[in-house]
Structure 1
Amino acid sequence: MPEEVLFKSESSQSRDEIASYLRNVAEKLEQGGSITLKAGSESVTMEPPARPTFEVKAEREGPVDGPGELSIEFELEWDEHSEGAAGGSDSLEIE
Structure 2
Amino acid sequence: MEEILFESEQRQSRSDTAAMLRSIADKLDSGDAVTLSAGEESVTLDVPATHAFEVKVERETEAGGSELGLEFELEWDENGDGDESLDIA
Q: Please give the per-residue CA displacement for 1:7-49, whole angstroms capped at 9, x wherever unaligned.
A: 1110000000000100000000000011000111111101110
Match of 1:76 in 2: 74
**Alignment-mate amino acid for residue 15 of structure 1:** R
SS at 1:8 equivalent: coil
Match of 1:94 in 2: 88
Match of 2:39 in 1: 40
**Alignment-mate amino acid for residue 23 of structure 2:** N
SS at 1:16 equivalent: helix
List runs of 5+ in structure 1 lacking aligned partners. none
Instruction: State the identity as a percent.
Output: 53
Shift of 1:88: 3.8
SS at 1:43 equivalent: strand
List runs of 5+ in structure 2 lacking aligned partners. none
Q: How many residues align?
A: 89
CA distance in 2, matches of 1:61, 1:20: 26
Q: Report which of the two has the higher share of strand.
A: 2
CA distance in 1, matches of 2:36, 2:57: 23
For the aligned residue pairs, the C-alpha RMSD in angstroms reads 1.8
Give the structure-2-normalised TM-score: 0.90
CA distance in 1, matches of 2:87, 2:13: 24
Shift of 1:94: 1.3
